[in-house]
Amino acid sequence: MAGTNWYQNNGCGITSELLCEAKVPLYSLADVQLRFLCPNDLDEVRTLCQDWFPIEYPYYWYEEITSNNSRFFALAAVYNRSIIGLIVAEIKPYDKLNPEDTAILSKSLRNNAQVGYILSLGVAKEYRRNGIASLLLDSFLRNLMTQQKQDVKAVFLHVLTSNAAAIMFYESRRFQLHSFLPYYYAIKGRCKDGFTYVLYINGGYPPRNIYDYIKYMCIAVFRGGGLFPWIIGNISKAIDWIWKGPVHPQQEEQQQQHVVH
């Protein structure tokens, strides 16, 4: 399902939970301050989340995300001394993922890999469509793309299938639909379906399948001028590509230099 656009970008769809209904345009994003949550934010954050999200988080969750706990990346957007948006995310080792999430990475990347998981991203209703959600998301992604975090190969999240506004937002930010999760959420005593969306970073990529292999073969045949030259010259390269993933230009240059020397 990767790469599929579930909703066409022709409006806000059936919900307006995340991005619609802007009522107070900001003069400039420079007026917005970004800072990490602190214990004094607990009551304000809890009130906002209860208003923004259909899921009821336990009280201890609010204590954790506002306690300067190094486990969470809990960033607030502040305007006129009030929190108007926040993102809560964490970095998880691949081997600690839930079973339904383990298929997001290629097998060749799973050893010692980590992934970013977005638990919550929301903006106050009156300040939506001002770029606040993108500002918060970009801050998290920049944090993951530093030299110290190159082992983080993907960022993923779960979203209600009915939340068209959130889905369109993440698709506009190059997140790919990865999987459908039937009855994933329990909201007010009713089961709701969800989607998993993934963004690959730092050289990460999804598991290969037969269609990727066929596509690679067709491209190689076309570039090689025929089937026989491709079979003779590129079969080992195709096998390496399936098991190890594509060789980046920088890696290929290093390999060539090693052969020369």
Q: Looking at the annotation, which residues are catalytic?
A: 117, 158
Question: To which H or E segment does residue 250 belong?
Answer: helix 249-260
**DSSP secondary structure letter of residue 137:** H
Query: What letter does residue 248 receive in the DSSP assignment?
Result: P
Say which residues have a Cβ less than 8 Å from residue 85's Cβ, sequence separation at least 6.
76, 77, 122, 123, 124, 127, 132, 133, 135, 136
What H or E segment, with its residue span, contains residue 64?
helix 59-65
- 83 and 132 in contact (C-beta within 8 Å)? no
Beta bridge partners of 44: none
- The answer to whether the beta carbons of residues 155 and 176 sit under 8 Å apart is no
